[in-house]
């Protein structure tokens, strides 16, 4: 693909949420507007490489998508009343008078409102993720399904149900009027982007350890969110966390896709540009004093990234940050699990194992049971209890759905069981 095509593709991805937001604000029919925008994006992808990018690319897309939407309505006799309603509320000048690349009456960017709509609290987390990636991220249903290892038909139904739920609830493209409502919805958006990134950085199953298209898209959307709410410290913290974590991705797998633990990674392969950007974001937000969970997690990632090797890592500082993280909100067993590792690095493996025992009966770790067992195995190995460590490694391998993780855990067990 040529550099011109790449540039057009990037431009279309940036403009897609703005165009969809403009149509939904004007017409209200989310599902029909989303289909019309996809057609407009396709038309642009076919025409612009040869004809050139219009001076007002956003206006071109809005106009073409509006015409596509009107065509869709007029082609469905069974939806005649919907066509009449649309005609009544839409001035003819909005459909006919302006050229495709004419300057819009308003350059309002509805991307934030669109993110709020896709991450509406009434939708389930999987529906929010699918709808966000489809409507704001521009990924096809097939791409989203493949990334989450579900059939395309399942993902299509999930996205369709999400659209119908929004329609049935009568939800409009608007921002909450009260600051508290805005903060709550913004937290929902951040959480969805966090989940997308995590699934991309370490997939929950399948043959590959990572799904780069998901983590890359999560970073892109979080950049967009940060641009829309530049003063929100936690959004900046989330972006910093993603950048500082994603910087290690090149070193996380070996030549055959095998998992490489943090302690064994070639830190020369880490992306120093992303690390510098992430640290810069933290340096600008932490002094404000509005510290939140994402900022603290980013600070922990920064301590890891700035260490030349595992032995040079400031584990005392990491433990202090985990202590603060546990104090910020309700108990989080995953945070407690990670804190146990920090305790082990500061006070010894036995102290870490003692904390793991307290987490054994926590039902919220059901989906992370393999991580608890793998951590236990690592600490038992550090204590020289190789037989017990090998058993824990094999238990962890049996519980993970990730093939690379399973191979890594099995290999560690085999190495401990092999004769010296």
Give the model confidence (pLDDT) of 105-128 as tens digits: 445 568 888 888 888 888 888 888
| Per-residue tokens: 411 | 């290999």
| pLDDT score for 117 | 86
pLDDT, average across residues 38-48:
89
Q: pLDDT of 287-339, one tens digit each? A: 887 889 999 999 999 999 999 988 899 999 999 999 999 998 777 888 999 99
| pLDDT score for 144 | 83
- Res. 61: pLDDT tops 90: yes
Please, what is the average pLDDT of the chain?
86
Reduce the DSSP state of residue 342 to 3 states and report it.
Answer: helix
Cα torsion at 335, 336, 337, 339 (round to 10°)? 90
Query: 314 or 153, which is more confident?
Result: 314
Identify the band that residue 102 occupies on the pLDDT scale cut at 50, 70 and 90.
very low
- 95-104, 177-186, 195-204, 347-356: which has the minimum mean pLDDT? 95-104
Query: 93 or 252, which is more confident?
Result: 252
Instruction: Give the Cα separation of 330 and 299 in Å (integer).
Output: 20
Q: pLDDT of 373-408, one tens digit each? A: 999 999 999 999 999 999 999 999 999 988 999 999
pLDDT, average across residues 72-82:
61
pLDDT, average across residues 81-90:
54
| Per-residue tokens: 159 | 């996205």
**Cβ contacts of residue 309 below 8 Å, gap of 6+?**
267
| CA 146 to chain centroid | 15
b/e sequence 262-300, b meaning 16+ C-beta within 10 Å: eeebeeeebbeebbeebbebbeebbeeeebbbbbbbbbb
| pLDDT score for 378 | 96
Cβ atoms of 119 and 189 closer than 8 Å: yes
């Amino acid at each position: 693909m040529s550099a011109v095509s790449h540039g057009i593709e990037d431009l279309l991805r940036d403009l897609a949420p703005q165009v969809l937001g403009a149509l939904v604000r004007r017409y209200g029919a989310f599902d029909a507007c989303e289909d019309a925008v996809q057609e407009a994006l396709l038309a642009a992808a076919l025409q612009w490489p040869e004809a050139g990018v219009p001076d007002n690319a956003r206006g071109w897309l809005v106009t073409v998508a509006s015409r596509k939407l009107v065509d869709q309505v007029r082609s469905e006799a069974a939806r005649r009343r919907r066509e009449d309603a649309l005609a009544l509320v839409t001035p003819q000048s909005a459909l006919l008078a302006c050229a495709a690349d004419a300057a819009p009456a308003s350059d309002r960017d509805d991307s934030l409102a669109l993110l709020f709509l896709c991450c509406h609290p009434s939708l389930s987390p999987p529906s929010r993720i699918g709808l966000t990636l489809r409507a704001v991220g521009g990924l096809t249903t097939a791409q989203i399904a493949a990334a989450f290892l579900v059939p395309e038909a399942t993902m299509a139904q999930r996205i369709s149900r999400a659209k119908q739920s929004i329609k049935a609830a009568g939800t409009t493209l608007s921002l909450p009027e009260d600051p508290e409502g805005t903060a709550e919805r913004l937290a929902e958006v951040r959480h969805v982007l966090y989940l997308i990134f995590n699934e991309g950085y370490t997939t929950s199953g399948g043959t590959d350890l990572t799904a780069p298209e998901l983590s890359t898209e999560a970073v892109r959307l979080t950049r967009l969110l940060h641009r829309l709410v530049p003063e929100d410290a936690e959004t900046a913290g989330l972006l910093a966390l993603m950048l500082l974590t994603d910087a290690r991705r090149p070193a996380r797998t070996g030549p055959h896709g095998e998992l490489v633990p943090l302690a064994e990674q070639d830190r020369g392969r880490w992306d120093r540009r992303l690390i510098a950007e992430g640290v810069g974001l933290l340096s600008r937000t932490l002094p404000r004093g509005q510290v939140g969970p994402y900022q603290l997690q980013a600070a922990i990632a920064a301590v890891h990234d700035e260490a030349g090797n595992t032995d040079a890592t400031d584990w005392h500082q990491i433990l202090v940050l985990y202590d603060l993280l546990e104090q910020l909100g309700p108990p989080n067993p995953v945070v407690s699990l990670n804190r146990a590792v920090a305790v082990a690095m500061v006070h010894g493996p036995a102290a870490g194992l003692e904390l793991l025992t307290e987490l054994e009966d926590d039902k919220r770790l059901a989906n992370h049971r393999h991580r608890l067992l793998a951590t236990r195995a690592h600490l038992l190995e550090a204590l020289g209890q190789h037989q017990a460590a090998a058993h824990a490694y094999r238990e962890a391998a049996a519980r993970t759905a990730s093939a690379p993780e399973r191979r890594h855990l099995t290999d560690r067990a085999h190495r401990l069981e092999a004769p010296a």
